[in-house]
Amino acid sequence: MAQMIIDTANHIAGYAARAARVKVVAAYPITPQTTVVEKIADFVENKQMDAEYIRVESEHSAMVACIGAAATGVRTFTATSAHGLALMHEALHWASGSRLPIVMAVVNRAMGAPWSIWPDLSDSLSQRDTGWIQFYCADNQEVFDSVIQAYKLCENEHVFLPAMVCLEGFILSHTYAPAKIPDQEKIDAFLPEYKCGWTLDVNHPYSHANLVSPEWYMEFRYMIQEAMENAKRLIPQIDREYGNRFGHKYGGLIEKYRCDDADLIMLTMGTMGSDAKLAVDKLRKGGQKVGVARVRVYRPFPVEEIKKLAGQARMLTTIDRHISFGMEGFLAAETKASLYNQRERPLVAGFIAGLGGRDVTSETIQKIAKKSLKSMSAGKVEKETEWVDLRE
């Protein structure tokens, strides 16, 4: 029987690593990630999980130890946040370039200076170009399900890339909520034994990741791009298959809510997607035709889904818990980029909200929607990027 538990998303990420039968975990503590790896340490030391837990001396070493272990033929897991993720940056490139299917929970936290321990997505979004697949979760159950789905995806021979499963610090990481942990045999049936494109093997000795001249380098990069495109195709399939077996589906790349007849569709990521649903219900009651689409997978970016949404709505509004200084939020920028070659494009307005853990409630989102509806009626967007609830 599947087991219902009530626990924090961090602990649930630990449950997911155990359910995936991870063999090597290498991790370094950072708030708010700590309870993920504490849970795993507890599992390993109490023999509830058959894995090596390497207590490394930095996040950089955590990622490199995962690279070493994944290259030696076992499933690996790690978790980090903010500055820990930034410290890993170089190793993130090495992991994807080596085509190793490592899965990492990123407990989103704002970047300093100044210090902040509260959530926004600037840590993981800053790693956009590292060749990692990125999932963003809206609740505790999705954290569990996405970790399992991520292994299934990453170890697919048409992908062989690493993935981050991102969950916002405190909003999810330390919040107790119910989650269903499926039977181990059913997970084993869904997620077979670890598979990787290559291993360090004394019987088949090769040099791995050695110097590549300009004659070859571009082809290796192109293969990563192809793998990302393959992932885009596979994620909805895996999500459907998972849903059929375990009862939870997340729309594959993008989760839509009341979008079908919507004039205004709000694009969000992470937990704002849940709050936005409440806002949509309220606005709908007031007669406004509003929907919300939560970008669940940010890399690969769901360009085709965004185009479809653009084809049915008069306006798209993006809400970014992130800012690319000197430009705008990535969700805004990439939504617009996705639509540029469309013959007919809706208006797109960008909002920045919730940086460094500032609350984004359904009221905040209703306010954003009302502003957007005004722009829609006027037929133009006055401000490309608007910061929400900013002190004067």
Partner 1 sequence: MTIKELPKEEYLLKGHAACAGCGPAISLRLLFKALGNRIIMVVPACCTTVIQGPYPFTSSAVPLQNILFESTGAAASGITAALHQRELDDITVVGWAGDGGTVDIGIQALSGAAERGTNFIYICYDNEAYGNTGMQRSGATPYGAWTTTTPTGKRERKKDMPMIMAAHKIPYVATACTSYPLDFVNKLRKAKAIEGTKYIHLLAPCPTGWRYDTGKTIEMGRLAVQSGLWVLYEIENGKFKLSSPSDRLIDKSKRKPIKEYFASQGRFRGLKDEDVEKIQKWVDEDWEQYRNLMSNSASDLTLYGKI
Q: How far apart are the first and last CA of the chain?
A: 55
230 neighbors 159 (Cβ within 8 angstroms): yes
- Nearer to partner 1 by Cβ, of 117 and 224: the residue is 224
Minimal distance, residue 20 CB to partner 1, in Å:
14
Site for partner 1 in 189-228 (CB under 8 A): 200-202, 204-213, 216
- Nearer to partner 1 by Cβ, of 23 and 39: the residue is 23
Minimal distance, residue 164 CB to partner 1, in Å:
18
Distance CA 219, CA 313 (A): 39
Closest among 177, 101, 102, 111 to 138, alpha carbons compared:
177
> Is there binding between residue 244 and partner 1 (CB under 8 A)?
no
> Is there binding between residue 61 and partner 1 (CB under 8 A)?
yes
Q: Is 139 helix (H, G, I), strand (E, B) or coil?
A: coil
- Nearer to partner 1 by Cβ, of 127 and 268: the residue is 127
CA 109 from centroid of its chain's CA atoms: 13
Distance CA 102, CA 252 (A): 20
Binding-site size, partner 1 (CB under 8 A): 43
Site for partner 1 in 15-54 (CB under 8 A): 23-24, 26, 50-52, 54
Q: What angle do CA 242, 133, 97 make, to 5 degrees?
A: 130
Minimal distance, residue 231 CB to partner 1, in Å:
24
Closest among 292, 186, 163, 162 to 241, alpha carbons compared:
186
- Nearer to partner 1 by Cβ, of 84 and 329: the residue is 84
Q: Which residue type occupies 308? A: K
From the list 66-74, 121-129, 266-274, 384-392, the region that binds partner 1 by CB under 8 A is 66-74
- Nearer to partner 1 by Cβ, of 10 and 76: the residue is 76
- Nearer to partner 1 by Cβ, of 2 and 209: the residue is 209
Distance CA 275, CA 277 (A): 5
Q: Is 197 helix (H, G, I), strand (E, B) or coil?
A: coil
Site for partner 1 in 68-127 (CB under 8 A): 68-74, 76, 90-91, 94
> Is there binding between residue 56 and partner 1 (CB under 8 A)?
yes
Q: What is the helix (H) or strand (E) element at residue 134, kind and residue range?
A: strand 133-136
Distance CA 106, CA 123 (A): 9
- Nearer to partner 1 by Cβ, of 72 and 175: the residue is 72
- List interacting residues with partner 1 (CB under 8 A): 23-24, 26, 50-52, 54-58, 60-62, 64-74, 76, 90-91, 94, 200-202, 204-213, 216
